[in-house]
Amino acid sequence: MRYSALSLLRGALSSHRNWQPAWASPEPKSAYDIVIVGAGGHGLATAYYLAKNHGLSNVAVIERGWLGGGNTGRNTTVVRSNYLFPESARLYDFSLKLYEGLSRELNFNVMLSQRGQVMLAHSRHDLESIARWVNTLHMHGIDGTLLTREQVGALVPALDLSPAARYPVLGGLRQPRAGTARHDAVAWGYARAASRLGVDIIQDCEVTGFTTGADGAVSGVETRFGPIRAGRVGIAAAGHSSVLAGLAGVRLPVTSYALQAMVTEPVKPRLDTVVISPGTGVYVSQSDKGEMVIGGSLDLFASYAQRGSFAVMQSVLAGTLAMFPSFSRLRLMRQWAGIVDVVHDSSPLIGPTPVPGLFINCGWGTGGFKAIPAGGWTLAHVLATGRNHELAEPFQLERFVSGRFIDEAAAAGIAH
């Protein structure tokens, strides 16, 4: 069933009893050409592009919980492509371009809202770095403008611009094409489109190990329901990537941390852009429901506990109130965390592992929601062809041997 105004009308006329499940829930087959571990955005997008770009639909996505229940359903939905190094700028801008056509392509409204993002400069040093940053963006052909203090004030009237502010604002960097997209819709849209193309999505089925053939190549996965054979296996398991790769004997340069976020009660429109302050390590946007969505720094100790510590929550809120004193009257409604996979140079890994037939897409850390289309596209490419996509070439594990790091810690947005 295609979603359209007409299908909505038909639904209304039939008391909404005509809707079909958005994706199928089949029993796992004993063998597939390709198995993907993890039904987050990256795993589901990989499956979709395998079917759509490469005509491969004998594919299963295996998820231990429910699809989109990992970081994809826990993030603060910011999308942008204002990265510093050419390799990352190319990759993330490709992703943003795919986002720009995604609702139409998937026939699913991912609610992309290109309301722009403003990164604040709190000191003369910040101003100098963002001026350099804007020049770099222009060299990459990416939109970005330098804002004066007054221009920041006009865009974000709720911001405290008084000279006595704890973090005075001297200017900002704006990416107009940045914004937000509905995180669940991205997972659901890719799941529905992949399922329609014949991909099996198996939920509630944990992968507990890998099987290998006599040649040492991966020949399938072990699951709670028994083994499933596969020609190739892709891991897209975010914070659990190193655990899974470890089961295949691969040690990844990934550390898992809790990253938390929180929302206030909903209020009338007050903030119509995404504001990030690298100085305080805090970023804020307003959801379509009216909640202030607040994020900040990692809990800086390795952890698999999906909750986040009180001390970080307190410092994130202190930073938020320093910028937006009027928010002090809002009540906090929810707080949660996800387990993010941080690579030491704050850049992802997309490509083969030392185990033949086993591929990986991970290391997106605090910023992989915006990269879902590109991450899926490039992992699908290497799984289907055995060759890295040119955009993924710089993001190989091999850089930890060659030393060709892409240190995106500054552009990663929040404190690492």
Ligand X SMILES: Cc1cc2nc3c(=O)[nH]c(=O)nc-3n(C[C@H](O)[C@H](O)[C@H](O)COP(=O)(O)OP(=O)(O)OC[C@H]3O[C@@H](n4cnc5c(N)ncnc54)[C@H](O)[C@@H]3O)c2cc1C
Per CB under 6 A, residues contacting ligand X are 37-43, 62-65, 69-72, 74-78, 206-207, 236-238, 240, 244, 259-261, 295, 338, 340, 364, 366-370
Cβ distance to ligand X smaller for residue 170 or 337: 337
Is the Cβ–Cβ distance between 218 and 355 less than 8 Å? yes
- C-beta atoms surrounding 203 within 10 Å: 16
Report the C-alpha gap between 210 and 212 in whole angstroms: 7
Instruction: State the first-to-last Cα distance of the chain, in angstroms, to the nearest integer.
Output: 44
CB of 375 to ligand X, least distance (A): 7
Report the C-alpha gap between 51 and 341 in whole angstroms: 27
Report the C-alpha gap between 221 and 37 in whole angstroms: 9
CB of 145 to ligand X, least distance (A): 21
Cβ distance to ligand X smaller for residue 286 or 366: 366
Cβ-proximal residue to ligand X, closest one: 40
Is the Cβ–Cβ distance between 79 and 96 less than 8 Å? yes
Cβ distance to ligand X smaller for residue 71 or 88: 71
Report the C-alpha gap between 247 and 250 in whole angstroms: 7
CB of 293 to ligand X, least distance (A): 8
CB of 7 to ligand X, least distance (A): 28
Q: Which residues have C-beta within 8 Å of that of residue 298, sequence separation ≥ 6?
A: 257, 258, 259, 312, 340, 342, 366, 414, 415, 416
> Which H/E stretch holds residue 377?
helix 372-385
Cβ distance to ligand X smaller for residue 134 or 316: 316
Cβ distance to ligand X smaller for residue 41 or 170: 41
Cβ distance to ligand X smaller for residue 43 or 278: 43
CB of 154 to ligand X, least distance (A): 24
Look at the block and give the residue holding tokens 């819709």. Answer: 185
CB of 113 to ligand X, least distance (A): 13
Report the C-alpha gap between 416 and 413 in whole angstroms: 9
Cβ distance to ligand X smaller for residue 70 or 319: 70
CB of 186 to ligand X, least distance (A): 9
